[in-house]
């Protein structure tokens, strides 16, 4: 791997390693419950869990661990690595320890009520589903813990700028600062939802909750959240992948523009999750729909820029012809395994992008909303480029920061392809079933998938079975991944820990213009947020929706004919 060497200071090396190891350990639980979900939906097992959890508990654990805890822990770890490596400005070790401590304590506080069955509210925790106050407090601590690093990084960045007024900000730093700007924007409405609506309600201080307001605040958070997940994968694609394929980044300016456009467009789109909700006028939904098509633009820019960088690298290695250069990419190279964790993710995201654009269209959304199509979509986005990038980069951090030799390297490069094959089958199964009307988040095994039930739907059967085959392949990939990760973790350190960060050089010099500076993009983002959210929030606040009492999900008694 080409790149500059830098030994990360001890505190940040340990902080990143602790976060990555804890996240991957919890992931074992998240993956296990994913497998149980898909087998249970297909009717291959009768109980949704072998650990005594019911259907909604297992689904909550699966979503919270995989989508919230694993991603946040990973991103803070990766952020520390990027910022310390590229800026080389010292960060206060005590503040870092506080941040990591809060994230760990918050996670335990949220996990216990889930395991006790007192927080079966799924990862979206929509009211009127009600959780124990400990769940909301724990989630708040996790979020506060993840804000602290961002404030450290902003201070470090401003200091770096003063020291190097003429230098362009390293691209990876632009990417991670954009990631956490999106996170900060997203988590402010979340904090309002949790601290003003849900926590007092859960503590019994208020009797009911405004469901429409809570959902609007949640999706104000929920869609920028998906770009918080995506952007570290884009850092990998733009910064690390070009040198891995022996080439250069096709356009540094396009990469910066993509990151900055996410700051502008990632948030004013949340109502596209609420097209079917009453209480919000259709004109605002329409406006959010337009913004949603805009937020696809930086991903289109990424598709072309990354494809051009791959082609450039492959041609440097002797690739020729219109398609012949594809053969020169290092698909199964054990040394450059990060490429294997990038490429299938990019392919999956072609499907994730198309299905996302289907979702964004109001009329087509009516067909797929709340059906199995939606998990079909997000396993090719969150479960595709994002998850594969995080898996590969976690392993990379473990070896680079821990000074550990990679174990089972041949098995390791198989993992992303096996996972992607599983995701494709899983997503085809769920997407087709969704178009045929199969609901998501429903205890199917007791109703629609149960031949004994009057609700039984035979035409979904084939597709749920296909989804289950995909789920088994995904689990097999993860069993191999865990074997690689934990055997590497347990191997004795053999080298001085030093960071070899593959870092792309731009193909040509470009004048960066407005992409040199964050401020105008943040200002435009705030203006768009006010335009997109002030009127619907005023409408919801002054509306005539009736507050709801709490509701606890339950596993219904099997229906019989």
- The residues binding ligand HAS (CB under 6 A) are 124, 226, 229-230, 272-273, 292, 295-296, 299-300, 302-303, 306-307, 346-347, 349-350, 353, 356-357, 359-360, 365, 369, 374, 377-378, 381-382, 386
Nearer to ligand HAS, 302 or 488 (CB): 302
> Do 465 and 407 contact (CB within 8 A), yes or no?
no
**From the CB of 228, what's the least distance to ligand HAS, in Å?**
9
Nearer to ligand HAS, 200 or 439 (CB): 439
Q: Which of 150, 390, 440, 501 is catalytic?
A: 440
C-alpha to C-alpha distance for 276 and 179, rounded to whole angstroms: 29
Residue nearest to ligand HAS (CB): 353
**From the CB of 382, what's the least distance to ligand HAS, in Å?**
4
Task: With residue 310 as reference, give the H or E element that holds it.
Answer: helix 297-316
3-state secondary structure of 330: coil
Contacts of 213 (CB under 8 A, 6+ apart): 197, 537, 540, 541, 545
Q: Which of 13, 223, 312, 369 is catalytic?
A: 223
C-alpha count within 13 angstroms, C-beta hemisphere, residue 55 = 22
**From the CB of 375, what's the least distance to ligand HAS, in Å?**
7
Nearer to ligand HAS, 39 or 230 (CB): 230
DSSP label at residue 195: I
**From the CB of 251, what's the least distance to ligand HAS, in Å?**
14
464, 467, 468, 469 alpha-carbon torsion, rounded to 10° = 130
- Comparing C-alpha atoms, which of 78, 79, 96 is closest to residue 11? 96
**From the CB of 35, what's the least distance to ligand HAS, in Å?**
19
Nearer to ligand HAS, 309 or 488 (CB): 309
Q: Which of 32, 55, 180, 378 is catalytic?
A: 378
Nearer to ligand HAS, 222 or 422 (CB): 222
> What CA–CA distances, in Å, run from 397 to 13, 168, 486, 497?
9, 25, 13, 10
Nearer to ligand HAS, 55 or 157 (CB): 55
C-alpha to C-alpha distance for 400 and 337, rounded to whole angstroms: 13
Any catalytic annotation for residue 481? no
- Comparing C-alpha atoms, which of 528, 437, 545 is closest to residue 215? 545
Nearer to ligand HAS, 17 or 68 (CB): 68
Nearer to ligand HAS, 108 or 367 (CB): 367
Where do the H-state alpha helices sit in 42-132?
A: 55-63, 71-87, 93-115
- Comparing C-alpha atoms, which of 412, 304, 297 is closest to residue 356? 297
**From the CB of 42, what's the least distance to ligand HAS, in Å?**
21
- Degrees, nearest 5: CA angle 523-92-389: 65
Residue 397 CB burial class (10 angstroms; 0-12, 13-18, ≥19) = buried
> Do 345 and 393 contact (CB within 8 A), yes or no?
no
> Do 472 and 410 contact (CB within 8 A), yes or no?
no
**From the CB of 491, what's the least distance to ligand HAS, in Å?**
32
Any catalytic annotation for residue 341? no
**From the CB of 346, what's the least distance to ligand HAS, in Å?**
4
Q: Which of 56, 150, 227, 275 is catalytic?
A: 227
Nearer to ligand HAS, 138 or 352 (CB): 352
Kindly give the pairing relationship between strand 499-501 and strand 4-6.
Answer: antiparallel
421-437 b/e (C-beta count within 10 Å ≥ 16 → b): bbbbbbbbbbbbbbeee
| Beta bridge pairs of residue 237 | none
**From the CB of 8, what's the least distance to ligand HAS, in Å?**
27
Q: Which of 331, 441, 456, 482 is catalytic?
A: 441
Any catalytic annotation for residue 238? no
**From the CB of 289, what's the least distance to ligand HAS, in Å?**
7
Nearer to ligand HAS, 386 or 444 (CB): 386
- Comparing C-alpha atoms, which of 293, 294, 261, 429 is closest to residue 362? 293
Nearer to ligand HAS, 172 or 342 (CB): 342
C-alpha to C-alpha distance for 445 and 451, rounded to whole angstroms: 9
Any catalytic annotation for residue 378? yes
- Comparing C-alpha atoms, which of 232, 89, 252 is closest to residue 155? 89
DSSP label at residue 559: P
> Do 176 and 153 contact (CB within 8 A), yes or no?
yes
C-alpha count within 13 angstroms, C-beta hemisphere, residue 215 = 21
**From the CB of 433, what's the least distance to ligand HAS, in Å?**
15
C-alpha to C-alpha distance for 112 and 132, rounded to whole angstroms: 10
Q: Which of 78, 379, 501, 533 is catalytic?
A: 379
Any catalytic annotation for residue 379? yes
> Do 374 and 434 contact (CB within 8 A), yes or no?
yes
- Degrees, nearest 5: CA angle 204-206-211: 115
Annotated catalytic residues are 223, 227, 377-379, 440-441
């Amino acid at each position: 791997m080409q790149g500059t060497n830098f030994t990360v200071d001890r505190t940040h090396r340990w902080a990143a390693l602790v976060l990555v190891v804890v996240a991957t350990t919890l992931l074992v639980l998240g993956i296990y419950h994913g497998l149980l979900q898909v087998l249970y939906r297909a009717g291959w097992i009768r109980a949704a869990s072998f650990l005594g959890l019911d259907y909604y508990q297992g689904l909550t654990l699966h979503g919270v661990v995989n989508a919230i805890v694993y991603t946040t822990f990973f991103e803070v770890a990766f952020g520390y690595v990027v910022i310390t490596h590229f800026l080389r400005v010292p960060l206060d070790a005590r503040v870092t320890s506080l941040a990591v401590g809060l994230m760990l304590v918050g996670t335990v506080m949220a996990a216990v009520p889930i395991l006790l069955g007192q927080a079966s509210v799924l990862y979206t925790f929509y009211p009127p589903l009600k959780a124990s106050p400990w769940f909301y407090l724990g989630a708040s601590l996790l979020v506060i813990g993840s804000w602290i690093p961002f404030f450290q990084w902003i201070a470090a960045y401003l200091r770096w700028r003063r020291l190097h007024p003429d230098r362009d900000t390293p691209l990876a730093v632009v990417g991670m600062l954009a990631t956490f700007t999106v996170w900060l924007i997203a988590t402010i409405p979340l904090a309002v939802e949790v601290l003003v609506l849900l926590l007092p309600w859960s503590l019994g201080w208020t009797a009911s909750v405004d469901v429409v307001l809570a959902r609007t605040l949640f999706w104000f958070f929920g869609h920028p959240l998906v770009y918080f997940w995506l952007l570290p994968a884009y850092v990998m694609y733009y910064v690390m992948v070009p040198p891995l394929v022996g080439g250069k980044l096709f356009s540094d300016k396009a990469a910066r523009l993509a990151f900055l456009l996410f700051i502008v467009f990632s948030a004013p789109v949340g109502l596209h999750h609420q097209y079917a909700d009453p209480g919000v006028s259709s004109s605002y939904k329409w406006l959010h729909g337009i913004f949603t098509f805009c937020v696809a633009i930086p991903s289109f820019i990424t598709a072309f820029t990354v494809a051009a960088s791959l082609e450039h690298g492959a041609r440097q290695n002797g690739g020729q012809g219109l398609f012949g250069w594809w053969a020169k990419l290092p698909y199964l190279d054990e040394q450059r395994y990060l490429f294997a964790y990038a490429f299938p993710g990019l392919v999956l995201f072609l499907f994730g992008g198309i299905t996302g654009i289907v979702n964004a269209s109001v009329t087509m959304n009516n067909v797929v909303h709340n059906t199995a199509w939606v998990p079909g979509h997000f396993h090719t986005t969150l479960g595709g480029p994002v998850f594969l990038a995080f898996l590969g980069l976690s392993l990379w951090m473990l070896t680079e920061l821990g000074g550990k030799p990679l174990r089972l390297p041949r098995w390791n490069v198989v993992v992303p392809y096996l996972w992607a094959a599983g995701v494709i089958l899983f997503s085809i199964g769920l997407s087709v079933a969704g178009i045929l009307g199969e609901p998501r988040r429903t205890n199917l095994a007791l109703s629609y998938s149960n031949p004994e039930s009057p609700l039984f739907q035979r035409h979904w059967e084939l597709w749920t079975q296909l989804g289950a085959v995909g789920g088994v392949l995904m689990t097999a990939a993860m069993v191999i991944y865990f074997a690689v990760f934990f055997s590497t973790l347990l191997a004795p350190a053999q080298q001085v820990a030093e960071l070899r960060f593959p870092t792309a050089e731009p193909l040509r010099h470009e004048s960066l213009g407005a992409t040199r500076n964050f401020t105008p993009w943040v200002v435009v983002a705030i203006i768009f947020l006010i335009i997109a959210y002030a009127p619907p929030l005023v409408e919801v606040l002054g509306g005539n929706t009736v507050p709801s009492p709490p509701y606890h999900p339950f596993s219904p008694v099997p229906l019989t004919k």
